[in-house]
Amino acid sequence: MPQSHHPRLETASRSLIEERQLARLQLGLMRILPRNGFYERKLMANGQAPSLSHLRDLSRLPFTTKQELLADQEQHPLYGENMTYALGEYVRYHQTSGTTGQPLRVLDTAESWKWWADCWKTVYQAAGVTRDDVIFIAFGFGPFIGFWAAYEGAKSLGALVVPGGGMDSLQRLRMMQDVQATVLVCTPSYALRLAEVARQEGIDLHKLKVRITIHAGEPGASIPATRRRIEEAWGAKAYDHAGMSEMGAYGFTCERQQGLHVNEGEFIAEILDPRTNQPVPLGEVGELVLTNLGRWGNPALRYRTGDLVRNGGYSCPCGRAFLLLPGGILGRIDDMLIVRGVNLYPSAIADILHRFPEVAEYRIIVTNNGPLDEVALQVECPSSLVGEIQDALRAAFGLRIPVEAVAEGSLPRFELKAKRVEDRRRRMP
């Protein structure tokens, strides 16, 4: 197993892992309660803070939602009251991507920014990245937190890190050739876009030095067909990662690539039925609820991520005892489509489409006929492939999904989170 930030804890007993999580949570609550107005209101609603003597007592704490944090910032501009320290103690400003609405502003102290870097260092180490690697980060480096922390984590690892902001795709490919990059960090969609540009420009990616690619921002590197396509295009191993601006860099992939591990040295994870708020059994799907343990200047306690994951338990061939999420992030609760009684996730459609090498890009179009949702696809592929794609979709989902072949290059490409779902549903009165 590659060396990591928590080498002993990762293979420790569950009781030891949970004892350490509880101790850190208790210390964190002592830090935030006298100072953090947002959580003081939530935790002291009954006159005293809930008592936690075991990790199972975590359910005594209230949930936190993004809607609450946004409302707090609207009521208490600019940053809300989820601040444990005076503004002068914070050194980093970032915000969520805003792809689903108003961006959430997030602040970090020097202490919590180092914590971000350490979390990303774990991501690198689990993937086998070392200080001898040259890490190229294909990211615009704007206010979205994105891969800023990946940059800091690479520095913490001691590797040479090359920022890829302010360049188009061809310039990035040329830069990767010039600096002999061995690790690429970007979204899975953008890894495929870079591969597409390389083909158009006659660049053989297998002649580059890249041996590892690490992806975040959207499901992809844990979707088997998507990961396989990335690995075949780059001649490298592709690893998934998951994080959130308001939470931290919580998920990493080990060398066995069985799914995402939650970094339980720095986070507490729950997988709950979103309807009952009760834990789901092993093998079942539920909402991921997270508590971070190292960002006390801007904490998130029992944060409802809205992400759906499968409970894979605490056993992995790699030897780690950290929670495993097979398939990574399966989708978001609000992304799930119900088509003629079948639960359908965009990531599942991606897994089918990326099995076809001829598919360059695609769009999912959602319409409705009264209360019923309908789905159709626009796919950049030869028209002769449409029937085969429809057959594969029908075999996977038991649904006849219309597929329209469109010209290559006619659909948009993405550097950050791909927006492949176009919602044309009429809202019912």
Higher pLDDT, 101 or 35: 35
Q: Which of 3-12, 61-70, 136-145, 410-419 has the lowest mean pLDDT?
A: 3-12
- Write the pLDDT tens digit of every residue in 204-248: 999 999 999 999 988 889 999 999 999 999 999 999 999 999 999
pLDDT over threshold 60, residue 282: yes
Across the range 78-105, mean pLDDT stands at 90
Determine the Cα–Cα distance for residues 407 and 243; give it in Å rounded to an integer. 35
Class of domain 1-333: alpha beta
**What is the model's pLDDT at position 2?**
47
375 φ/ψ angles, rounded to the nearest 5 degrees: -125, 140
Across the range 41-65, mean pLDDT stands at 90
pLDDT over threshold 60, residue 306: yes
Longest dimension (CA), the chain: 68
- Write the pLDDT tens digit of every residue in 14-26: 999 999 999 999 9
Q: DSSP states of 16-52 as a string? A: HHHHHHHHHHHHHHHHHTTT-HHHHHHHTTTSSPPP-
Q: Which residues of 48-81 are buried (b: 16+ CB within 10 A; e: fewer)?
A: ebeeeeebeebeebeebebebbbebbeeeeebbb
DSSP β-bridge partners for residue 343: 338
Lookup result for tokens 């209230």: 62
Q: Within 13 Å and on the Cβ side, how many CA atoms surround 7?
A: 5
By percentage, how much of the chain surpasses pLDDT 70? 97
Lookup result for tokens 């609405």: 101
Note the pTM of the prediction, 2 decimals. Answer: 0.87
**What is the model's pLDDT at position 113?**
97
Across the range 392-418, mean pLDDT stands at 91
**What is the model's pLDDT at position 3?**
47
pLDDT over threshold 80, residue 427: no
Show me where the domains of the chain are located: 1-333, 336-423
Q: How many angstroms separate the Cα of 277 from the Cα of each of 237, 271, 289?
A: 37, 9, 10
Across the range 164-184, mean pLDDT stands at 97
**What is the model's pLDDT at position 92?**
98
DSSP 211: -
Answer whether 1-333 and 336-423 agree in fold.
no
Lookup result for tokens 């759906």: 308
Q: What is the CATH number of domain 336-423?
A: 3.30.300.30
Across the range 397-409, mean pLDDT stands at 94
**What is the model's pLDDT at position 345?**
84
**What is the model's pLDDT at position 100?**
58
**What is the model's pLDDT at position 217?**
86
Mean of the per-residue pLDDT values of the chain: 93
C-beta of residue 280 within 8 angstroms of C-beta of residue 311: yes
- Write the pLDDT tens digit of every residue in 310-340: 999 999 999 999 999 999 999 888 888 878 7
